[in-house]
Structure formats: C-alpha cells, structure tokens
Amino acid sequence: MEERPVVLITGCSSGFGYETALLMAQKGWRVFATLRNVKKAAPLKTAAQGLALEILQLDVDSEASVKRAVARVLKKARRIDVLVNNAGFGAYGAILDFEDAEVRAQYETNVLGILRTARAVLPSMVANRKGRIINVGSVAGRVTFTGMGLYCSSKYAVEAVTEAIRLEGAHLGIEACVVEPGMFHTSFGANRRWAKRWEKKRSLFQVLIDRMVAFMNSRKRNGGGGTPVAGVILEAATAGKMAIRYPVGWDAWMLTTLQKVLPGGLFEGLKRLALPK
C-alpha cells in the first residue's frame, strides 16, 4: 500500500486546526495534531477514533517544545510532507493602547511561532527535496480594521513571511502559501485578548473601541464553522501547484476585491462609515 502523506498541524484544540486535522485524517493523511495544552485534547481524541491521527503537545511560543514535537514526528513517520501553521490568537484594541508586553505576546505566537515551526521542519523537507508550508493568515493580513491594528500587523507579517519562504525555498523544493479566512463561527472570538487599557476603561480611544466591539458583534459570519477553511487547507495541500493566497469566505473575497478596485481614500472612508455611531 502507498504510504500515507504526513501532515503536522498546530493549534488543533478547536476551530480551524481541529477541523483540518479531522478532515485530512478522513482523507487518508497521517495527521499529527498538536496543541499547546493537551488537557484540551479530549474532543479531538474522541472524534478521531479509528483515524490515523496522533495528538502531540506543541507550544509555538517555545522553541524547545517545537523541536521536541517535530523530532517525535520525524522519529515516528520519518518525514513531514506538509506543515500547517494554524496556532494563533487575536489581540484587540487601539494600536496605541497596547503595552510592550502585549505586543510581544501577539508577535511571539502569530509570527515567531510560524518561523519556529518552519525552521524545525525545514531540514527534513530539504532532505526529501519537497515540502509544503501552509500558514493560516487572515483577511486582516490584507485589510486593516479599527481596533484590530496589532492583530492585523501580525497577519501582515505572515503574508511577508510566506512570500519570502516561497521565494527562498523554491530551489530546495519548498512551497508555501497563506490561507486568508474571513469571520467564521469558531472559538477564535472567545479567545481574543483585549488591550488592558480598554478593559480598565483608561483608553483615550474608549468610545471608538466600544463602537468597534458593537460592530464586530453585529457582523454576519460565514457559515460552516471551521469546515470551509479546513477544506481550503486540504485543497492547498493537494494542489498540483499551490497558489500564493487562498481567501476563504464571502467577506474575505469582498474586502480584498474592494481594496484592489477602490481608491485608497475611498476604501478607508468606507471602513470608517461601517462603525455604528
């Protein structure tokens, strides 16, 4: 029998990572689903019964944890065909409200975490002269929103990191892409971290961020939970030639299209008008 392709996925306790791990296992992949806190693995473990899916601990904020997890996968499977960098969170609030520690935490996970895992899997991929790195970004990596500037900036960085990996890894057989979801019904919103100044009602932008929160709570989400994003990640993993970007959801397509066709000032004005008074 042909050997199963091997995928390592980060951030699998819920949402996109959870759905992607299950879908790829169902489609015949050997899946190593990783979580920062394995105490949250029970739902995935139950759902994955009978599938070629193994759960491992991996905290993308820790280089030692990343290296241990990758070494375990290589010991068991001898290779990693695809890395899915899904782990991340959103820090919300006015960009000038965040203290240095809050900024570092956002970049530690969303940017440095991707670089750590990519560095760890690179030698094995180069040895096999092939490998794919799929970074889960966001439409917020293409379009900046009020009250999301720090998160957006981290996802803009993911776009640049992905492009650099594609340019520099091509001659080694390494491909990369970024998946750009819009807003979906997942646990991502519940895991947001808010600027402490806003939470303590000490922000100079308090009223503006209050309006942003009202707008976010009223927005229509894309349907299907994390399933549509998982489907696109699988599409990228199996494509004959990966595209650079994969927008997912009506809002991701609409916003990136409007950004392309509208003058910059007009597009910025529309984003301001969207907030409730």
Q: What is the DSSP string of 167-205?
A: HHHGGGTEEEEEEEE--BSSTTGGG-EE-HHHHTT--TT
Count helices and strands in the chain by DSSP H and E runs: 11, 9
pLDDT (mean) for 148-168 = 98
Q: Which of 27-36, 172-181, 188-197, 242-251 has the lowest mean pLDDT?
A: 188-197
pLDDT (mean) for 126-141 = 97
Which CB contacts under 8 angstroms, 24+ apart, belong to 121-127?
A: 121/8, 121/70, 121/80, 121/83, 122/169, 122/174, 124/70, 124/74, 124/79, 124/80, 125/80, 125/172, 125/173, 125/174, 126/172, 126/173, 126/174
Q: In angstroms, how far is CA 68 from the centroid of its own chain? A: 21
Amino acid at site 215: F
The sign of the torsion formed by the CA atoms of 254, 257, 262, 263 equals: positive
Contact 183, 248 (CB under 8 A): no
The architecture of the domain spanning 6-274 is 3-Layer(aba) Sandwich (3.40)
Which residue has better confidence, 218 or 76?
76
Q: pLDDT confidence of 50, banded at 50, 70, 90? A: very high
| Phi-psi map region of 93: left, alpha, beta (phi>0 left; psi -120 to 50 alpha) | left
- pLDDT score of 1 more than 60: no
As a whole-number percent, the residues of the chain with pLDDT over 70 amount to 99
Which residue has better confidence, 141 or 217?
141
Model pLDDT, residue 274: 85
Q: What is the residue extent of each domain of the chain?
A: 6-274
Contact 40, 62 (CB under 8 A): no
Model pLDDT, residue 216: 86
CA distance 257 to 46: 40
Full strand arrangement of the beta sheet holding 53-57: 53-57, 30-35, 6-9, 82-85, 131-136, 174-181, 245-248
Q: pLDDT confidence of 2, banded at 50, 70, 90? A: low
pLDDT (mean) for 97-121 = 98
- pLDDT score of 43 more than 90: yes
pLDDT (mean) for 213-233 = 92
Question: In 3-state terms, what secondary structure has residue 130?
Answer: coil
Question: In 3-state terms, what secondary structure has residue 141?
Answer: helix
249 Cβ partners below 8 Å, 6+ apart? Answer: 139, 181, 182, 183, 184, 222, 228
Check 18, 92, 107, 151 and give the catalytic one.
151
Model pLDDT, residue 269: 94
pLDDT (mean) for 5-26 = 97
Question: What is the crossing angle of helices 113-128 and 63-77, to 10°?
Answer: 30
- For residue 151, indicate whether it is catalytic: yes
pTM of the predicted protein model: 0.96
